[in-house]
Structure 1
Amino acid sequence: MKKILISSLALASLLFLNSCTDLKEQVLDESSVTGLTDKQAADGNLAPVYAQLPTLFTHTNYFAAQEISTDEAILPYRGGTDWGDNGIYIALHQHTHTSTDPNLRSTWLLLTQGISRAITAISALPTNNDPNAKVYIAEARGMRAYYNMLLLDLFGVVFKKESPQAISEILRGEQAYEYVKTEFLAVEPDLLTTVGPGRLTKGGVWGLLARLYLNAAVYRDRYATSFTFKPEDMDKVVEYSDKIINAGQYQLSRDYFSVFNAENHDNKELVFAVDQRAELNGHNRLAYFSLSGDQFPLPAFTGANGTDGPGITPDFYRTWVNAYAPKDPAGTDPRFYKQNMNIPADSCVAAADFVYNRGILRGQQYGLIRVNGAFVRCGNNYKVGKLFNVTRNRPTTPVVFTEAINYTVAGSDYSTGYRVLKYEFSPKSQSGRNLGDVDIPIVRLADVYLMRAEAKLRKSNDAASALADVNLIRAARTNPAPALTSMSLDLLFRERGFELYWEMVRRTDMVRFGKYEGTWTEKTDTNPQKRIFPIPQTAIDGASNLPGYLVQNPSY
C-alpha cells in the first residue's frame, strides 16, 4: 500500500511543544489519514508554525541582519580565504548591502514561510474539536503577528492575509504597525501562561507588545529626523512590562550566563524563546560562529570547533573599558566574562573539568591540544595548553585574540578581534555546528526591565525610576556590577549593550536611539534610508505579474 508522510507531523517531530502538547512524527497509510485523532491533527497544524524559528535564528540569517550590521559585530574576510562570501558581510557591516544579499533573502523567505504556515493553521484549526484548538489558533495568529513584526522591523512591510488562497495585502508605516498591534491584542486573552518559553504565552505577547509600542515611533515614520515617542505608547510599554514583572513566574538569574546555557529551557528569566531541545531541530551556530578554528571545547568530539567568524568591534569593546576604567570590566561586570578554566599552560585535566570560559574572550587562548586529528592525552586526562593556528596551517602562530579588527590584511587575520562565547557550546555537538540545546531568548526579563526604564525616561524623564530598574538588574547577578548613580538615554543605550549583546536586538536599538547613522569600525555610511533592508529582488521579481504590488524600499 502506498504510504505518505504528513509533512506537518514530520515537522512536529522536530519541535518541542511541552505541557499539554507532545508533537510526534507519524507516517501514515493513505487509508488511515482520516483516522487521525483531533489532537494529532491539531498538533500537526500548529507544529509548522514554530518550525522555522531555529533556522531563522541561525548565524547567517537574523543574527547577521541584527548584529553584523551594527557596532557590536564585524566579520572580515578571514585570512583572505574564509568568510569572503562575495563581500556580503563587509557590505552588511558598511551598509552597502543590496537587494541580492543572500542572507537577507533567506531571512525574508523564512519569515514569509512562517506567515504562510500560520495562515494554514489558522484556517484548519476552527473545525478541529480538540480542546486545545482555541489556544492553538491564538498561538498561530500570534506567531503570524510576530513574523510580521520582524518583517516590519527589518524590511518595512507587513503581509495581511486571512486565507491560504487570498492574495496578501501589503501594509507599511502606521497601517502595518496598527495591524500587528491589533493581532497581538486579539490573541492575548486566549493564550496560556503555562506552555512557555518555547511557545507563545500571555507573557510572550506582553513582551512583544512592549517592544512594539517602544518602537512605534520608528515604525510610523521610519526616516524621521527625530522620532516622536508618544506618551500613550510609553504608558503601554510600562503597562505590559508591569504585567510580566508582576506575574510572579519570571525572575532574574543569579548566574548571568546560565540564561544561555545548554540546559536553559526551565530558566525563569526566559519569557519567550526559540526552543531547541529536540536534537534534530537545534543548532549550535551561535556558539561556534565566533570561536577560533583551533578552539575545541569538547573532549568527546575532535571535530567540534569554531570557525573564526565575527569579533566585536573595538568601538563596542571600548564602551566597556570606558565605563569601568581604570578597572578591567572582566572583574567588574559579571556579564562581560566568566572564567570557568583555572588552568595553567601545559596542564592535564579530566574531561569533566574542562569547561570553556564565557563572554568576551581576549588575549592568548588555552584549550585542548590536537595533533593529527586527536587530542593529546595524559593517561585518562587531556593535555591543555596554549593554542596555535594549526587548523589554519600556521602551527607557530598563537591564537591570541586582539582588540584590533578591521578590513586590512593584518586586521582580517584569523586571530583578530575579541570573540564572544555567550551561548554555551553544546556538549552534544559533534561538528560544532549541529545539535544545539540552548533556547535562544526572544524576550527575557532583563530586557523587560530595560524597556520599562526606557519608556519612563522617554515619557517624563523619570530618571530615578529608570535608574532603579537598571540597578535592579545589575544587583541581581552573582558578583554584581556596581550600581550606577545617574541615568540618561545614552547610559541606557550603553546598558542595553552590556546586558543584551549578541542577542539580536542591537540594530533595532541603534535605530530607535538614533545611533544607526553613526560611524564605527569600518562603517561611515550615514544614509537614514538604510534603517531598513532592501526587499529581496527575487521577491519583487516573483510579484512582477502584479504591477506596483511589491515596491522596493528607497535607496535600493
Structure 2
Amino acid sequence: MKNRINQIIFIVTISLFMTACHDDLDQNPIDPDSFTEQDVFANVTEAKGALAKLYASLALTGQNGGDAGAADIPDIDQGFSQYTRMLFNLNELTTDHAVVGWGDPGLPDMHGLYWSAGNDFTGAMYLRLAQEVSFTNAFIQNASLLADAEAQTFIAEARFLRAFAYYNLIDFYANVPLVTQITTDLPSQSNRAELFDFVESELLEIQDLLLDSNEYGRVDKVAAWALLSKLYLNAEVWTGTPRYADCITYSNNVMNSSYVINMNDANGNGTAYDELFLADNNSNGAQNEFIFALNFDGIQSQTYGGSTFLVHGATGGTMDPTSLGINGGWGGYRTTKALVEKFETGAIDLASLNNSLGGTLSDWGLVGDATENSWDGPDMEMYEIASNQYALYAELNDGFMKFRFNEDWGVNYGDTDADGSLEAGGDNIAVTAGTYLITLDLDNLTYYLEEVVASGDKRGMFYTDGQSLEIESIPPFNQGYAVTKFKNIDSNGNPGNDSTGDFVDTDLPIIRLAEIYLNYAEANLRGGGGDIGTAVSKINELRERAFGDASGNITASDLDLDFVLDERSRELYWEGQRRTDLIRYDRFTTETYLWPFKGNQPNGTSTSSFRNIFPIPTNTISTNPNLIQNEGY
C-alpha cells in the first residue's frame, strides 16, 4: 500500500474533492483526458485512489514533489505547511525538546512561547487540518453512492482520518467549527466538549467497520482503539471529566492485538529502538509496532516536510550528512539539556556482578598499579567459580597487573609474550583503564580480560562533537546537542532511494504501540483501574529494548506519574507528543517545570495559561463572523 499510495497521489487531483457552488458550474469537462469526481467514484478501484489522497494529504502538500507547485492550499509555503512538520513545530519546538536557529518570521516565537494570532505556523496547521476535514467530507459523500462492501471500509477509514483531524483540532485550537457535510455556508463554532463527543462517537461507530488488519499505510480497527486511548487520556483537560477507566479499556484492547513492540535489532547495535526511525522501517520489524504511520519515499513522494525535514533540519555543524543518508544539513533544530539529562547513562554495579558469579572469595588475586591498591596490596581477591577457575569484575586503571596467590610473590603469574598465556613469574600484564571481567584458568594457564560497558539508555541519540550542552544563544547551531534519532539509512547502512540525498524514505509513526503502553501506565496511576503489575511489565519491555538488557528495569515502587512523564519524553521525543503531555501534567505554561528559553528567557519562565491552546488564524476569524477568537489572542 505504501507504493500504491505513492504512485496514486500524483494522479488524483485536488479538484476531485471540490463541489461546485452553483448548478451552472456542475458540468462535465470538455477535455476528455481530465479526471472528475464521476471518474474517481465510478467504482471501488478508482475510489481507492481517492482514498490514497486522504492519507497523502497528511504526508504531502500538493500534486507535485517538493515545492514544485500545484499546492493543495494556496498562499501558504508548501515546504513548511506539511502536517508532521507543523506537528513538530507546535508540539515539540514549543517545549523542552527543541530549539531552532532559523529566523523565519514567527518561528522563534514558537519556542519562546510568544506567538500571535497572525503566526504563519499556527495558521498553517489549522489550514492543513481544515483541508483534511474537507477532503474526508467530500470522499464520504461521494463514496456513499457505491454499494460495494469494500467502499464501506473505505468510508470507515475516511471517517477515522476525519476524527483524527478533529482530535488534533481539539488539542491545538479547542473551539472550532464541526463540519461533516460539504457546504458553502459559513460554519458555526463548536466547543471542545462537543468536538470530543463527535470524535468519540465516530471512533466507537467505525471500530467494527474497519478491517481487523489492513495493508501497511492504512488504518484498521486497532487504530480506532488507539485513538480512543489517546482521546480518553486527555479527556479531563479537554472536557473537565476524567475518562481514565475508558483509557485503560481501549489501551488493553490495543495491547491484546496483533501489534508488537519491535525487538529486531536489525543493525546489531545493541538496541532495536533505532530501527523505528530508519529508512527501511516499513520492513525491518518496526512496522509491526506502527498502528498509524505516514509513508514517505525519496522518489515517489517528495516533500520538504515529513522525515526529509526532520533529518535535514537537525543536521549541521561538524556532523557528516552522508552518515545520515543525506547530501547536506539545514542547520536548524537541536535539543535542550532538559531532554538530554533525562537519559540514564548507566552505571556498573560491581558488587551485584560479582555476586552473580556464584563463587566464593579465594586466595588468588590481582596486584599492580592497574589495581585499586597498586603494587603494595592488599590484592583484589578473585572468586573461585569452579575448580582452578577464578573470576572477578573490577575497575582497573591504566598500568600493569599480575596474578598472585595469598599476596605472596613466591607464587605469581604474568604474560611474557602478551599472548593470553601465563608464565610463572612472567612479565607484567598491560592494562588500559576500564571495567573488566577478569578470568583466570589455572588448568590451562590462561587468562582473559573482557571489558564491561555500562548499558545505559540507548534511546538518547545525540551528536555532541563541537556542540555545547548549555545554550547561551539560540541561533548558532553549536548551541545545544544535535538529535540523530531520524536517519535516511536502512538497517544495513545503505542510504535511501533518492540518490541525490535530497529526500528521505523514513516513514513517521503517528501512533505506535509503545505510546499505548505509556497511556495505560499513566491512566492506571491516575485512578483508571487496570493493574500496576501490567504497567510495570509494559514499561520494562520498553526499557529492556532501550538498555539492551534488564539493567534499566523498574519495580512498582519506582512507578509514579513523574516517572511516566519522563519515560514518555525518553521514548517519544520528537514524535509530536510533548506539548500535549506537558499540558496534561499542568507543566507547559506554569512555573512548575522550566527549561532553557521557555518564555524567551535563558533559564526559562512561566507564561500565561491561555497559551495552552493556539489562536484561530486571524484570516479565518476575519472571513467568518460566526467565530470567536480564543481567549488571550
- State if a TM-score over 0.5 links the two structures: yes
Match of 2:334 among 299, 307, 311: 311
> If the length of structure 1 is used for normalisation, what is the TM-score?
0.75
Checking the alignment, whether the CA contact within 8 Å between 1:45 and 1:125 is kept in structure 2 is no
Equivalent residue for 1:439? 507
Residue aligned with 1:272, SS: strand
Equivalent residue for 1:372? none
Task: Measure, in 1, the Cα distance between the counterparts of 2:10 and 2:561.
Answer: 48
**Distance of aligned partners of 1:282 and 1:184 in 2 relative to their CA distance in 1, 3 Å threshold:** farther
Equivalent residue for 2:213? 194
Residue aligned with 2:343, SS: helix
Checking the alignment, whether the CA contact within 8 Å between 2:12 and 2:50 is kept in structure 1 is no
Quick check: 1:107 aligned with 2:179? no
Match of 2:201 among 150, 173, 182: 182
Matches within 5 A, 1:103-182: 103-165=121-183, 167=185, 168-182=187-201
TM superposition shift of 1:455:
0.7
Equivalent residue for 1:271? 291
> If the length of structure 2 is used for normalisation, what is the TM-score?
0.67
Cα RMSD for the two superposed structures: 3.0
Matches within 5 A, 1:22-41: 25=11, 29=32, 37-41=42-46
- Aligned pair count reads 458
Equivalent residue for 1:241? 251
Identity across matched positions, percent: 28
Task: Measure, in 2, the Cα distance between the counterparts of 1:191 and 1:116.
Answer: 21
Gaps of 5+ in 2: 14-30, 61-80, 265-271, 350-452, 490-494, 599-604
Matches within 5 A, 1:37-48: 37-48=42-53
Checking the alignment, whether the CA contact within 8 Å between 1:405 and 1:412 is kept in structure 2 is no
Residue aligned with 1:457, SS: helix
Equivalent residue for 1:489? 561
Checking the alignment, whether the CA contact within 8 Å between 1:289 and 1:308 is kept in structure 2 is yes
**Distance of aligned partners of 1:540 and 1:186 in 2 relative to their CA distance in 1, 3 Å threshold:** same
TM superposition shift of 1:442:
0.9
Checking the alignment, whether the CA contact within 8 Å between 2:9 and 2:56 is kept in structure 1 is no
Equivalent residue for 1:472? 541
Checking the alignment, whether the CA contact within 8 Å between 2:313 and 2:331 is kept in structure 1 is yes
Quick check: 1:405 aligned with 2:471? yes
Equivalent residue for 1:340? none
**Distance of aligned partners of 1:181 and 1:278 in 2 relative to their CA distance in 1, 3 Å threshold:** farther
Equivalent residue for 2:574? 502
TM superposition shift of 1:281:
1.9
Quick check: 1:320 aligned with 2:343? yes
Quick check: 1:257 aligned with 2:338? no
Equivalent residue for 2:519? 451
Residue aligned with 1:550, SS: coil
Match of 1:416 among 479, 503, 511: 479
**Distance of aligned partners of 1:482 and 1:142 in 2 relative to their CA distance in 1, 3 Å threshold:** same
Larger radius of gyration: 2
Task: Measure, in 2, the Cα distance between the counterparts of 1:300 and 1:501.
Answer: 18
Match of 2:300 among 277, 280, 283: 280
**Distance of aligned partners of 1:330 and 1:152 in 2 relative to their CA distance in 1, 3 Å threshold:** farther
Matches within 5 A, 1:49-88: 49-55=54-60, 60-76=85-101, 83-86=102-105, 88=106
TM superposition shift of 1:250:
3.0
Checking the alignment, whether the CA contact within 8 Å between 2:346 and 2:454 is kept in structure 1 is no
Checking the alignment, whether the CA contact within 8 Å between 1:16 and 1:277 is kept in structure 2 is no
Checking the alignment, whether the CA contact within 8 Å between 2:299 and 2:503 is kept in structure 1 is yes
Equivalent residue for 1:354? none
Task: Measure, in 2, the Cα distance between the counterparts of 1:277 and 1:471.
Answer: 33
Runs of 4+ in 1 over 6 A off after TM superposition: 21-24
TM superposition shift of 1:133:
0.7
TM superposition shift of 1:279:
3.0
TM superposition shift of 1:17:
4.4
TM superposition shift of 1:251:
3.2
Once the two structures are superposed, residues 381-423 of structure 1 have per-residue CA deviations (whole angstroms, 9 ceiling, x without a partner) of xxxxxxxxxxxxxxxxxxx1110224x3xx5323221011111
Task: Measure, in 2, the Cα distance between the counterparts of 1:425 and 1:184.
Answer: 34
Match of 1:535 among 603, 616, 631: 616
Once the two structures are superposed, residues 177-223 of structure 1 have per-residue CA deviations (whole angstroms, 9 ceiling, x without a partner) of 111111111111111133254222111111111000000011114xx
Checking the alignment, whether the CA contact within 8 Å between 1:297 and 1:305 is kept in structure 2 is yes
TM superposition shift of 1:121:
0.2
Checking the alignment, whether the CA contact within 8 Å between 1:314 and 1:404 is kept in structure 2 is yes
Residue aligned with 1:442, SS: strand
Checking the alignment, whether the CA contact within 8 Å between 1:293 and 1:307 is kept in structure 2 is no
Task: Measure, in 1, the Cα distance between the counterparts of 2:517 and 2:100.
Answer: 31
The code of the aligned residue for 2:96 comes to D
TM superposition shift of 1:46:
1.6
Task: Measure, in 1, the Cα distance between the counterparts of 2:110 and 2:596.
Answer: 13
Q: Which moved more, 1:531-540 or 1:420-429?
A: 420-429
Residue aligned with 1:553, SS: coil
Task: Measure, in 1, the Cα distance between the counterparts of 2:333 and 2:323.
Answer: 24
Residue aligned with 2:322, SS: coil
Checking the alignment, whether the CA contact within 8 Å between 2:83 and 2:125 is kept in structure 1 is no
Checking the alignment, whether the CA contact within 8 Å between 1:280 and 1:435 is kept in structure 2 is no
Equivalent residue for 2:224? 205
Equivalent residue for 2:380? none
Quick check: 1:520 aligned with 2:595? yes
Once the two structures are superposed, residues 466-505 of structure 1 have per-residue CA deviations (whole angstroms, 9 ceiling, x without a partner) of 3222112212457135112311100110001110011110
TM superposition shift of 1:136:
0.8
Task: Measure, in 2, the Cα distance between the counterparts of 1:521 and 1:213.
Answer: 31
The code of the aligned residue for 2:561 comes to L
Equivalent residue for 1:216? 235
Equivalent residue for 1:290? 314
